[in-house]
Amino acid sequence: MNDEKLRELFLDAEPVDEPPLAPGYLESTVTAARQARRRRTLRNTAVGAVAVVAVLGLVGLVVRPYLPDHRTPPASARSAGPLVQRLDAKWMPGGANLHEQSVEDSVQALRYEKWVGTPRDARTIWSVEVSLYPPGVGTAADGPLEDAEFGHGTKVDPVRGMPAELLPDANGYTLEWKYPSGAHAVVTIGGTGGKAGATAGTGFGDRTPSVARRVAENLRIDGTTPMRFPFALHLPANQHVVAADSLVMRAPNGTVSTHASLSFGSGPRVKDSSTVMTSSPAEQGKPQRFAGGNYFVPNRGGFTLQTSVAGHGDGKKLADRVRIVGTPTDPGTWRPDPILN
Amino acid sequence: MNPRQQRDYESYIQGRVAALRRTAYRLTASWDAADDLVQDTFVKLYLHWTKAAAARSIDAYSRRILVNLFLEQARRPWYRRVLSFASPPDQIAEPVDRDSALDLHAAVGQLAAGQRAVLVLRYWEGLDVAETAALLGCSEGTVKSQSSAAIDRLRRLLPGYPVRSANTDRSTE
């Protein structure tokens, strides 16, 4: 039997009972992919959480008091810890919807979009994302840019007196500026183009540079919005929070996808820590299971719960200790302090 | 990932999910396992989208991820594998129906993971020896020996299967 005949034989054996994909399969795949990227970033930047560990280990999750007269940008997202959203966009073009917000140790971001059409058939007219990278981060390893190096772009007029540049972005217009602390902020207007500062296809046309600049001039990084979590738990003795992230995505049709995670341990490194993670929409029709060192609860209170324990501990026991305290469709019901006393 | 890359990625997975799912099914012999494998593949593809988009063929890149993930999962200790069933199937497996194409799937499912991957790539995906070797990251000799061993084992598993000789033309049957 030659190769050709073998191929015929195999092709004759094509499955004829191919079941349809589960509803929401692709959407949950995209959500899982985005979460994976953020988890990777979190792991890669764990060392920066040492200062946070010291604070959180002693006093729990602390949110800085609001300082209304505070004009000088605080040092960084990192110095404030990963549990407070520092970005505060005071101006956005008309029609903006907050599509996504994330707070991580190495980058915080807010993403706004304008949609038209019906909820079932919405189309994105424009997108604007603002990001904040703490001092010491020289490469945008996550967020709207991928591997763009700060300080290597085309110099442009300063933003509120701070040195600014256009970063190469083949797919949009990206204005970045640097705070005295060394933190970098970025405004990215998504679209199509071909070189640094391209404006074609951004939804704003020739107005793109002025829109980006106005967003930049009105961006504050002294916000105090606490991160919220849909779960709570008692930490094991002598353990403290090492890192956390939270993500809420709103699709044009109003669908909310969420992801939140908390890593804790007795040392500073995320990779030596235990993690509780929730995501929504929840998986449907799957059993609770161990997979890849994690324990999965497909649906608890509308969330998929995933746990992993340092040192190959029992993820199921940890999952049993987690209390769901919010609803997946309304992040407003989540709590700012996931640690139970 | 910027918005355009995001759109490209979503458009790509929408267009390719059916084909990759079939490949995954051929490897895993289970639609549930195939769905999990494809999802893992797409997640990994997302993490490496910039590289994938710059590759000569995104399809080849995706297929490589899929096969490598399959092999990686097959190598994991049994207790770390995802269970495909909420509860174990309680009925005895039906005896193999030699007239059914499912025979071949069942037999392929009994092969070692590496042999299964070689057969699926060569005879279902239509890759030649060199392409299969490149995708699996092994030598052409390994692909040939794996193929030969896999076919020998298939012959033993399916002794009565209508295996035709090389000079039989099915179109005349």
Q: Extract the tokens encoding B173.
A: 């049957």
Instruction: State pLDDT tens for residues A91-148.
Output: 999 988 777 777 666 677 888 888 776 655 666 788 898 988 888 777 766 555 656 7
pLDDT at A109: 82
Kindly determine whether residue A29 and residue B13, on different chains, have CB atoms separated by under 8 Å. Answer: yes
Nearest alpha-carbon partner for A121 in A255, A252, A257, A256: A252
B42/A29 Cβ within 8 A: yes
In angstroms, the separation between the Cα of residue A150 and the nearest Cα of chain B is 17
* Closest chain B residue by Cα to residue A126: B3
Sign of CA pseudo-dihedral A277, A283, A285, A286: negative
Q: Return the SS3 of A72.
A: coil
* Nearest-CA distance A27 → chain B (Å): 9
How close is the nearest chain A Cα to the Cα of B41, in Å?
A: 10
* Cα B82 to Cα A295, A308, B112, distances in angstroms: 10, 15, 18
Distance from CA of A43 to the nearest CA of B (A): 14
By the 8 A CB rule, do A48 and A105 touch?
A: yes
R_g (Cα) of chain A, nearest Å = 22
Residue A209 pLDDT level (bands cut at 50, 70, 90) = very high
Write down the pLDDT at residue A6: 73
Shortest Cα distance from B137 to chain A (angstroms)? 21
Look up residue B158 and give its two tokens: 């399916």
pLDDT digits (tens, 9 = 90+) for B121-152: 888 888 888 888 888 888 888 888 888 888 88
CB of A116 within 8 Å of any CB in chain B?
Answer: no
A16, A18, A287 ranked by CB distance to B86: nearest: A287
Going by pLDDT thresholds of 50, 70 and 90, the confidence category of residue B81 is very low
Contact between chains at B86 and A286 (C-beta distance less than 8 A): yes
Which residues contact residue A245 at a Cβ distance below 8 angstroms, ignoring those fewer than 6 apart? A38, A39, A42, A82, A102, A103, A104, A259, A260, A261
Nearest CA in chain B to A1: B166
Q: Are A108 and A186 in contact (CB under 8 A)?
A: no
For residue A34, list chain B residues with Cβ-Cβ distance below 8 A.
46
- pLDDT tens digits for B97-111? 444 455 677 778 778
| Contact indicator for B21, A21 with CB cutoff of 8 Å | yes
Using a CB-CB distance cutoff of 8 angstroms, which residues of chain A are in contact with residue B79? 290
Give the SS3 label for residue A334.
coil
**pLDDT, position A82:** 47
CA distance B58 to chain A (A): 17
Backbone angles phi, psi at B156, to 5 degrees: -75, -35
Alpha helices by DSSP H, listed for chain B, are 3-28, 31-47, 49-54, 58-75, 102-109, 113-119, 129-136, 140-157
Name the H helices within A162-235.
208-217
Q: In whole angstroms, what is the distance from residue A162 CA to residue A176 CA?
A: 10
* Percent of chain A at pLDDT exceeding 70: 70
For residues B16 and A306, what is the distance between their CA atoms, to the nearest angstrom?
28
Closest partner residue to A171 (CB to CB) among B2, B22, B47 is: B2
Enumerate residues 31 to 70 of chain A having a beta carbon within 8 A of any beta carbon in chain B. Answer: 32-34, 36-37, 40
Which tens digits make up the pLDDT trace of A140-189?
A: 665 556 567 888 889 999 999 999 999 876 567 889 999 998 899 999 88
To which H or E segment does residue A161 belong? none
**Measured between CB atoms, which of B46, B76, B170 is closest to A33?**
B46
> What is the average per-residue pLDDT within A27-37?
76
Q: Which residues pair with A113 in a beta bridge?
A: A97, A127
Listed in sequence order, the residues at least 6 apart from A295 whose beta carbon sits closer than 8 Å to its beta carbon are A288, A289, A306, A307, A308, A314, A315, A316, A318, A319
Cβ within 8 Å, pair A291-B102: no
Q: Decide if A127 and B3 are in contact by the 8 Å CB cutoff.
A: yes
Query: Alpha-carbon torsion A37, A42, A45, A46, what sign?
Result: negative
Among residues 199-228 of chain A, which lie with CB inside 8 Å of chain B? Answer: none
Question: Are the CB atoms for A99 and A253 separated by under 8 Å?
Answer: no
Identify the residue among A35, A99, A171 best suited for mutation to test binding to B, counting B beta carbons within 10 A and taking the highest: A171
Strand pairing partners for A289? Answer: A296
Please give the helix or strand (H or E) that residue A177 lies within, else none: strand A172-178
B76 contacts on A by Cβ (under 8 Å): 292
